[in-house]
Amino acid sequence: MTLIESALARKILDSRGNPTVEIEILTDSGYGTAAAPSGASTGEHEVQSFPKDGGVDASLKAFGDEVLPQILGMDAAEQRNLDNMLHQIDGTPNFGNIGGNLAVAISLAAAKAAASSYGMPLYQYIGGALASSFPRPLGNVIGGGRHAIGGTDIQEFLVISMAGNATKCVFGNARTHKIVGQMLKEKLPGHAIGKGDEGAWVAPLSNEDALALHREACDRASSELGFKVLPCLDMAASEYFHDGKYHYKDKSFTPEEHVDFVAGIIEEYELHSVEDPMDENDYLSYVALTQAVGDKCMIVGDDLFVTNKERLAKGIKMGAANSILIKPNQIGTLTDTFETVELAKKNGYSTVISHRSGETTDDTIAHLGVAFGSYAIKTGVVGGERTAKLNELIRIQEDLEG
Ligand code: PGA
Ligand code: ZN
């Protein structure tokens, strides 16, 4: 019932106008499709998205020549076998030959084909009876860094609505995004205010002005909506750490000073979570920050952990961060992603399932967030490729409620 009868790969467009890969898998009674996203502020320890020589086309060739002959006839429900086979065919530690994006799209499409063969939604197939709660949508409202030239140094100012169901949270974040837009127009009359790669507003603001406006917008939204909307950041600090210092447009910090700076803004603006506050190799500063403010704020490792269980295990041992961002294409297969999620949960680290800045309308992460019991799903607030995931979350909630 779950044996793979046919599979195909094609090149499709992502939200930044770049090519990526989509996979379709058919069993005799099921069907699954998945497309891979792409990052712009990628971590140095992520797997290789596409082969260095040849890019997406080289991945497509590898699919036809090496992967397809192997997966035909395999059991889509034997996820671990299938994912091991992808590692074996590739033969490198980082999917350098076939590309992590090809691998993740095959891995997820197979899981979806197996789920469909059993007549189950993906979240239930992976998460079983324990998949009963929804991850809170966490979305970007002001952007800068690699995602928006001319914006803030800090990459993402995000919001998370603390309502009791997914629909209210999705619309709470959307309302806050609108409030931020109105506040920016009032604060910067005559300025062009655009949107970055993830649909967040981009405006010529200092980090401090953006922090204050972000906090104020959350407060206004909270009182209007009747539930809390909390401010969060993704600092993507690896992007501006070089020569031993953290460099902002107007100032630089040593690692020790940067720990104090971040702890200070967490206290001042009552931030609910902060992702990548330190460089991806600066485990020691993560430890210092987690000791200082980890009891009141989620300290989330994205570039630090890259969904990699060895990097997470090191963080757990040292006490670096208390939460992990989960991006399946950082590690390349569903099995690897699942193992990292399990390790996090066992050690009290919350998980945040996440989109990439370059996305497609693929909505698989909504299912993964529910299956993994993630605390949050980071997937923007507006824009078709972001709303695809949010709307799927609304549908899953309806399904969970019967
Ligand atoms: P990326 O960035 O998808 O461009 O890597 C998103 C993030 O840093 O979380
Ligand atoms: Zn990040």
At 351-366, the pLDDT tens digits run 999 999 999 999 999 9
Indicate whether 61 and 165 sit together in one domain.
no
Question: Who's near 162: CB < 8 A, 6+ residues apart?
Answer: 136, 169, 227, 228, 229, 230
Q: Which two tokens stand for residue 319?
A: 């006490």
Q: C-alpha angle with apex 340: 93 to 169, nearest 5 degrees?
A: 130
**Is 232 close to ligand 1, i.e. is its CB under 6 Å away?**
no
Q: What confidence score (pLDDT) does residue 146 get?
A: 78
Look up residue 237 and give its two tokens. 């600090």
CB atoms within 10 A of CB 187: 13
Same domain, 18 and 55: yes
Residues 161 and 27 in one domain: no
Mean pLDDT of 218-240: 97
- Which one from 22, 46, 156, 198 is the annotated catalytic residue? 198
| Concatenated DSSP letters of 310-365 | HHHHHHHHHT--SEEEE-HHHH-SHHHHHHHHHHHHHTT-EEEEE--SB--S--HH
Co-location of 110 and 253 in the same domain: no
H runs (alpha helix) in 194-308:
207-225, 255-269, 283-293
Residue 340, ligand 1, Cβ within 6 A: no
The per-residue pLDDT for range 119-131, each reduced to its tens digit, is 999 999 999 988 9
Is this model's pTM higher than 0.75 or not?
A: yes
Of residues 233 and 192, more confidently modeled: 233
pLDDT at residue 151, as a whole number: 82
Residue that finishes a domain, picked among 119, 135, 152: 119
351 shares its domain with 296: yes
Is 198 labeled as catalytic in the residue annotation? yes
Question: Residues 107, 112, 117, 119: what is their CA dihedral angle, to the nearest 10 degrees?
Answer: 150
Compute, in angstroms, the gap from residue 350 CA to the centroid of ligand 1: 18
- Number of domains forming the structure of the chain: 2
Q: What is the mean pLDDT of residues 283-303?
A: 98
Q: Is the CB–ligand 1 distance for residue 174 below 6 Å?
A: no
Same domain, 310 and 182: yes
Query: What one-character-per-residue DSSP string does 142-193 give?
Result: EEBGGGSTTSBSSSEEEEEE--SSHHHHHHHHHHHHHHHHHHHHHHSTTS--
Write the single-letter amino acid at 372: F
Residue 51 structure tokens = 């082969």
pLDDT tens profile 244-277: 999 999 899 999 999 999 999 999 999 999 999 9
Distance CA 148, CA 192 (A): 13
Q: Which of 169-178, 191-200, 335-344 has the lowest mean pLDDT?
A: 191-200
CA–centroid distance, 283 to ligand 2, in Å, is 16
Which of 48, 157, 197, 302 gets mutated to test ligand 1 (max ligand atoms within 8 A of its CB)? 302
Q: 62 CB under 6 A from ligand 1?
A: no
One domain, residues 337 and 263: yes
Distances, alpha carbon 135 to alpha carbons 375, 377, 390, in Å: 5, 6, 11
Cα gap 142→151, rounded to integer Å = 8
The last residue of a domain, from among 75, 100, 119: 119
Average pLDDT of 231-256? 96
Please give the mean pLDDT across all residues of the chain. 97
Residue 28 CA, ligand 1 centroid: distance in Å: 37
Q: Nearest-CA neighbor of 94 among 154, 50, 131?
A: 50
Q: Do 134 and 115 have their domain in common?
A: no
Residues 280/304, Cβ–Cβ less than 8 Å: yes
Mutate to test the pocket of ligand 1, among 18, 356, 360, 389 (most ligand atoms within 8 A of CB): 356
Ligand 1 atom closest to residue 43's alpha carbon, by position in its atom list? 5
Are the beta carbons of 2 and 75 closer than 8 angstroms?
yes
pLDDT above 80 for 23: yes
Same domain for 321 and 188: yes
Angle at 361 between CA 67 and CA 83, to 5 degrees: 25
Other Cβ atoms less than 10 A from the Cβ of 141: the count is 33
Tell me which residue of 22, 28, 25, 27 sits closest to 9, measured CA to CA.
Answer: 22
| Mean of pLDDT values over 143-151 | 81
Tens digit of pLDDT for each residue in 177-208? 999 999 999 999 999 899 999 999 999 999 99
Q: Is 185 a catalytic residue?
A: no
197 lines ligand 1 (CB under 6 A): no
Instruction: Please give the average per-residue pLDDT across 300-317, as a whole number.
Output: 98
Q: Same domain, yes or no, for 222 and 175?
A: yes
* Ligand 1: centre distance to CA 356 (Å): 5
Residue 332 lies in domain: 127-400
Structure tokens at 113: 């084909």
Cβ-count burial 124-136 (b if 16+ within 10 Å, e if not): bbbbeeebeebbb
Q: Are 323 and 349 in contact (CB under 8 A)?
A: yes
Has residue 149 got a pLDDT over 80? no
Query: Do residues 342 and 199 both lie within one domain?
Result: yes
Instruction: Tell me the CA–centroid distance for residue 241 and ligand 1, in Å.
Output: 16
Residues 46-51: what's their mean pLDDT? Answer: 98
Report how far ligand 2's centroid is from the alpha carbon of 275 (Å): 6
Is there an atom of ligand 1 within 6 Å of 356 CB? yes
**What's the CA gap between 125 and 295, in Å, rounded?**
34
CATH of the domain at 56: 3.30.390.10
Structure tokens at 121: 């939604």
> What residue owns the CA closest to ligand 1's atom 1?
39
Clarify whether residues 111 and 161 are in a common domain.
no
Q: Name the pLDDT band for 147 (thresholds 50, 70, 90).
A: confident
Domain boundary among 119, 153, 180: 119
Cα separation, 356 vs 321, in Å, equals 21
Please tell me if the CB atom of residue 327 comes closer than 6 angstroms to any atom of ligand 1. Answer: no
Which of 22, 46, 156, 327 is catalytic? The answer is 327
Q: CA 30 to CA 351: how far, in whole Å?
A: 30
What is the C-alpha radius of gyration for the chain, rounded to an integer number of angstroms?
21
CATH of the domain at 158: 3.20.20.120
Atom in ligand 1 nearest the alpha carbon of residue 355: 3
Integer Cα distance of 159 and 323 in angstroms = 17
Q: Is the CB of 357 within 6 Å of ligand 1?
A: yes
The structure tokens 């991006």 sit at: 327
Question: How big is the chain, counted in residues?
Answer: 402
145 has pLDDT over 90: no
Instruction: Please check the confidence at residue 148 and state whether its pLDDT lies above 80.
Output: no
Mean pLDDT of 150-179: 96
State the Cα angle at 242 between 239 and 246, rounded to 5°.
Answer: 75
